[in-house]
Amino acid sequence: MDAVNSRASFADALKQVPTADGKRSAAVFHHGTLQVKIYAPRGHDPQQPHTRDEAYIVVQGTGTFLCAGRREKFVPGDFLFAPAGVEHRFEDFSDDLAVWVIFYGPEGGESS
């Protein structure tokens, strides 16, 4: 989806995962530096630090978010943030976890 289409349906996005090659995330929108994905890990979250700032909006599921050594509980509706280059992942999460992932800004992240 590009900026001409200004709506991304959660139900339609969730149908895109897992992908044909088994990935648990799929791109659903792109405009400039903004990229939006759906992410629905199962069992464990193998994420590695990313090169751009990243925000999550929890749509369904519960668990713990580890970011920069700090653990925080999350529920649907919560907003979570991981700066570029920082270790982060979902832990002890429910089997229905699904989040919008929003990548934006320059490689290396934005400065404060």
What one-character-per-residue DSSP string does 56-96 give?
EEEEE--EEEEETTEEEEE-TT-EEEE-TT--EEEES--TT
In a domain, 5, yes or no: no
Provide the domain count of the chain.
Answer: 1
What is the helix (H) or strand (E) element at residue 36, kind and residue range? strand 34-39
CATH number, domain of 58, equals: 2.60.120.10
Task: Please state, in angstroms and rounded to a whole number, the distance separating the CA atoms of residues 1 and 7.
Answer: 9
- Residue-wise pLDDT tens for the chain (112 aa)? 555 678 889 999 999 999 999 999 999 999 999 999 999 999 999 999 999 999 999 999 999 999 999 999 999 999 999 999 999 999 999 999 999 999 999 999 998 6
User: What is the Cα gyration radius of the chain?
Assistant: 14
Q: Which domain holds residue 21?
A: 10-104
Place of tokens 């929003």: 102
Residue 24 falls inside a structural domain: yes
In a domain, 85, yes or no: yes
